[in-house]
Structure 1
Amino acid sequence: MFNQNQQENQWIDISQPLSKDIAHWPGDTPFSYEVAYPKEETGSVNIGQITTSTHIGTHIDAPFHFKNDGQRVLDIDLNIYIGASRLIDIGDAKEMNREVLSQFNLDGIARLLIRTSIKNNPTVFPKDIPYVTRDGAEFLKEQGIKLIGVNVPSVDPLDSKDLEGHHALYENGIYILLNFRRLK
């Protein structure tokens, strides 16, 4: 992503580096990396092995994650995730709803990064997070937003089973990027 508020085409890596200490969704497979076959065994290269859930660190939630007939990652145009974005800070708001989001100028942007007051320590899974409401998703569509990124691991409450935020964003044509690295 590059930030519209900064010099044109200044690329900013917003991903959390994967490490043995990175927090994972409770119950999911934690991240691990090992050299499965060292160069001494293969004769030419070291071969690494990664084991993890795909719901870790900075990642997207393709519609297939929450809809059996939804697009998979390989079906999504990569350009949705690349380009100018605007970063807003909603502070300690508990919801990403129309009232909160309408306080920001979102004119002329398609990619919105939302920073919350959650510290986003990559080694600690949060206990509670702000979430997207149905009217928040509808407002974002009205503003022309095609991608929402948040610095937390979900767009729904952590204990949600109906995933209203995921579905509302999907129904409004908005893709999801989760757990971006805290930007200044």
Structure 2
Amino acid sequence: MGRLLDISQRLDHQTAGWPGDTPFTYSLAWTKAESGSVNVGKFTMSTHIGTHIDAPYHFDNEGKRVIDLDPQLYVGVARVIHLHDCRTIGIGSFAGVDLEGVTRLLVRTGAWPDRSAFPKQIPPVEPELAAYLAAKGVRLLGLDLPSVDPLDSKELLAHHALTEHGVHILEGIVLDHIDAGDYELIALPLPLTEADGSPVRAVLRELT
């Protein structure tokens, strides 16, 4: 079997989250000295910090929660492509890119080089791309960005369009060290029954 390549952000006090959202913190609730046997930690964090998936409930009060999502979408063959210096991610971005038979598409933009700081702007997904990807058979779109929409968007048109066309969303992956090509993706969300999103430990396995 091929080696595993970690494409997850580290979670610590330096992890950059959305401005004003719950930052990541970790502390010990019990220490070994206090309990006599174990250290037991606790952490707080936003469901949308670091590498995470969005559930439709994130932007639709009637949308599916994390527990309702098909876990099989987050495990399987994925194609990594590189889009350099793009202002937006639209249909034209994929001219000449073969997406036939691709179920999981991971896009490296390189637009968030310093993950200790939240970006000031990103290349957003154009809503029209959703129907195009769905027609090709794509059901999961992953980006090395904190969102598929402009950072100041309130309408979240790309989020809605992708969901309407059955394309699920994986955000905040780290593809700096990943060559374009096909891999096996493993990025399972936690079985959170009420949540609007979930952190994931995303890895790619090299295909042999």
TM above 0.5: yes
Counterpart position of 1:73: 66
Q: Separation in 2 of the partners of 1:96 and 1:103?
A: 14
User: Do the aligned partners of 1:134 and 1:168 also contact (CA within 8 Å) in 2?
Assistant: yes
Greater relative CO (CA pairs within 8 A, separation 6+): 2
Q: How many residues align?
A: 177
How has the CA–CA distance of structure 1 residues 139 and 10 changed in structure 2, closer, same or farther, with 3 Å as cutoff?
farther
Q: Does the CA-based 8 Å contact 1:120-1:182 persist in structure 2? A: no
> 3-state SS of the aligned residue for 2:21?
coil
Instruction: Please state how far the C-alpha of 1:167 moved relative to its aligned partner.
Output: 0.3
Deviation at 1:9, TM superposition (A): 5.5
- Give 1:170's aligned residue: 163
What residue number does 2:50 align with? 57
Unaligned 5+ runs, structure 2 = 178-208
Separation (CA, whole Å) in 2 of partners of 1:100 and 1:50: 39
Q: 1:10 Cα shift? A: 4.7
Q: Distance in 2 between matches of 1:108 and 1:23?
A: 35
Offset of residue 112 of structure 1: 0.3
CA distance in 2, matches of 1:58, 1:120: 15
1:161 paired residue number: 154
Out of 125, 128, 131, the residue aligned to residue 124 of structure 2 is 131
- Cα offsets for 1:74-129 (capped at 9, x unmatched): 11121111111111111111111111123311122100001113143220111100
Calculate the aligned-residue CA RMSD, in Å: 1.4
1:62–1:120 Cα change, 3 Å: farther
Q: Find the residue that maps to 2:5 and give its secondary structure.
A: coil
Q: Higher mean Cα deviation, 80-89 or 143-152? A: 80-89
1:86 aligns with 2:86: no
Residue identity opposite 2:145 in structure 1 = V
Structure 1 runs of 4+ aligned residues shifted over 4 Å read: none
Q: 1:72 to 1:120 in 2, by over 3 A?
A: farther
Q: Is 1:38 aligned with 2:28?
A: no
Deviates more, 1:37-46 or 1:87-96: 37-46
Match of 1:12, SS state, is strand
Say whether 1:29 aligns with 2:22.
yes
Tell me whether 1:20 sits opposite 2:13 in the alignment: yes
TM alignment of 1:86-125, pairs within 5 A: 86-125=79-118
Q: Which residue of 1 aligns with 2:188?
A: none
TM-score norm. by structure 2 comes to 0.81
Aligned equivalents of 1:39 and 1:10: distance in 2?
35
- Report if the CA contact (8 A) 1:118-1:152 is conserved: yes
